[in-house]
Structure 1
Amino acid sequence: MADLLTPGLILAAAATFLFAGLVKGVTGMGLPTFAMAVLGSLVSPAAAAALLIVPSFVTNLWQLLAGPAFAGLARRLWPMMAGIVAGTFAGASLLASGDTGASTAALGATLVAYAAWSLLGRQPRAPARLERWASPIVGLATGLVTGATGVFVVPAVPYLQALDLEKDDLVQALGLSFTVSTLALAGALAVRGAYQVGDLAVSTFAVLPALAGMWLGQEIRRRVSPAAFRRWFLVGLLLLGAEMLLRPLF
């Protein structure tokens, strides 16, 4: 990845992480999804994922540790986290394969599915009696999508929202899921030789614009409707995902 960087790409990456952090500051999520969507249209999804690792880890760890009930959530959700790790290592062969057309189309399909569900779908509910077997299955599916596309929101986010957690617990559970996904993705790419020490240094530089964007987003949150902002963000994500999905056809 470090060899591919040009002044123009560095500027584009900084702007991407600034806006991705802004989205996370306003809505509480969306940094890795937006960053992968934009960077995946500029470089290969594997290179975009390499850039994403450190800022995603830092911002999601912040979100994880800020919550009130880490130990309880970890005990409750560990089967899902184990599934995420296993699925990510299994699915990363596509992202690391160098088949840019297939991984870009997979990323586009994931973005379209997530944006469409968020815009149109009704909030599901997961009965407590189903959680024991549903958690590892959802984790495995999330890991497979993460390994193949670098995006870790599907189906983890709908599932965690369906558990009817308290607001603070939900935010912390999302932070736990995203942090585990980020670490698993880094490990899976490193095992396949798609993540190098130089990528870690480059990715670290993206933390500053991401954190600046988060601060700016928190300020904007006080002045705009988070619901309206999130709706237009999802519309943009839907259009970008559709373009990536259809790109290999032209």
Structure 2
Amino acid sequence: MLGIMGEMPLALLALATIIALFAGFVKGAVGFALPMILISGTGSFLPADWALAGLILPTLASNLVQGLGGGWREAWGVVVRFRVYIVTLLAVLAVAAQLVAFVPEAVLFVLIGLPVTAFALTQIAGWTLHLDGARRLYEVVIGIIAGLMSGFSGTWGPPTVMYLTAIGTEKRAAMRAQGVIYLLGSVMLLAAHLRSGILDRETAPWSLWLILPVFIGMWVGGKAHDRMDQARFRQMMLWVLLVAGLNLIRRGVFG
């Protein structure tokens, strides 16, 4: 009944729960980075497939709250506006997720660590992508990148944030778009990894367990949102992600 949770030492389960609390706090405070923190944090001491399985249900549950917060009409408007990007992302995600079971764990750690590290570095450096014209082509190319990343690591946030910023999406519209895109990605991630076998009767209880600390963290983060220095907190979080991403790459390269 407990699946892999029954095999997990209590100390590691407690550590994973604390990471989920922090990931939820960040999601509640700044609106993104939950799957990146979960996968990079738990992946630092758990097998890569366990770390990936663990983030699936908390990510879906949290994105249901964020994605439908503005109502069905606003959500549908996002789908229509970004339909090419969304369809590309979901299609590539569905295919890439089926390859996870065939990828050696060392390679999987690198595939998870690289996008986390790249995102942290570009954000710390203040680099911003700017795109003009040929929007449909950009949507397809960046959608493919996001789909590959999410299929292997469950993290589609970095390319989505960069794309919305690059086309000059207004802040409120960008937050709404992120919520809907993340929600649709979460649904596809669930379906894809039910098929791939990453999420099954052994790993599902573990993923369900992490929903509670994530939601507690989101509630606290939401309360703290208006009282914290957003820029400083975001910068600190990016350094944490950078260290975690580099550690994942180290695990993949050196074991």
TM-score (norm 1): 0.91
Within the candidate set 219, 242, 245, 1:241 is matched to 245
SS of the residue 2:134 aligns to: helix
Residues 73-129 of structure 1 deviation map (CA, whole Å, 9 limit, x = unaligned): 1101111111111211222244323621110011111111010111114333333x4
Match of 1:167 in 2: 171
Q: RMSD value over aligned CA atoms?
A: 1.9
Spell out the pairing of 1:71-82 with structure 2 (5 A cutoff).
71-82=76-87
2:103 aligned with 1:95, yes or no? no
> Where does structure 1 lack aligned partners over 5 or more consecutive residues?
none
Match of 2:16 in 1: 13
2:209 aligned with 1:192, yes or no? no
Shift of 1:50: 1.1
For residues 251 and 205 of structure 2, the distance between their equivalents in structure 1, rounded to whole angstroms, comes to 31
2:239 maps to a residue whose letter is: V
Assess if the C-alpha contact under 8 Å between 1:54 and 1:204 holds in 2: yes
For residues 11 and 176 of structure 2, the distance between their equivalents in structure 1, rounded to whole angstroms, comes to 36
For residues 84 and 189 of structure 1, the distance between their equivalents in structure 2, rounded to whole angstroms, comes to 15
1:134 maps to a residue whose letter is: Y
Spell out the pairing of 1:12-91 with structure 2 (5 A cutoff).
12-67=15-70, 69-91=74-96
For residues 246 and 201 of structure 1, the distance between their equivalents in structure 2, rounded to whole angstroms, comes to 29
SS of the residue 1:151 aligns to: coil
2:207 aligned with 1:211, yes or no? no
For residues 65 and 45 of structure 2, the distance between their equivalents in structure 1, rounded to whole angstroms, comes to 28
For residues 103 and 46 of structure 2, the distance between their equivalents in structure 1, rounded to whole angstroms, comes to 11
For residues 82 and 224 of structure 1, the distance between their equivalents in structure 2, rounded to whole angstroms, comes to 36
SS of the residue 2:252 aligns to: helix
Match of 2:3 in 1: 2
For residues 2 and 120 of structure 1, the distance between their equivalents in structure 2, rounded to whole angstroms, comes to 42
1:5 maps to a residue whose letter is: M
Match of 2:161 in 1: 157
For residues 9 and 164 of structure 2, the distance between their equivalents in structure 1, rounded to whole angstroms, comes to 39
- Deviates further, 2-11 or 39-48: 2-11
Assess if the C-alpha contact under 8 Å between 1:25 and 1:221 holds in 2: yes
For residues 13 and 165 of structure 1, the distance between their equivalents in structure 2, rounded to whole angstroms, comes to 35
Assess if the C-alpha contact under 8 Å between 1:67 and 1:168 holds in 2: no
SS of the residue 1:184 aligns to: helix
Within the candidate set 115, 125, 139, 1:135 is matched to 139
> Where does structure 2 lack aligned partners over 5 or more consecutive residues?
none
Sequence identity of aligned pairs in percent?
28
2:37 maps to a residue whose letter is: F
TM-score (norm 2): 0.90
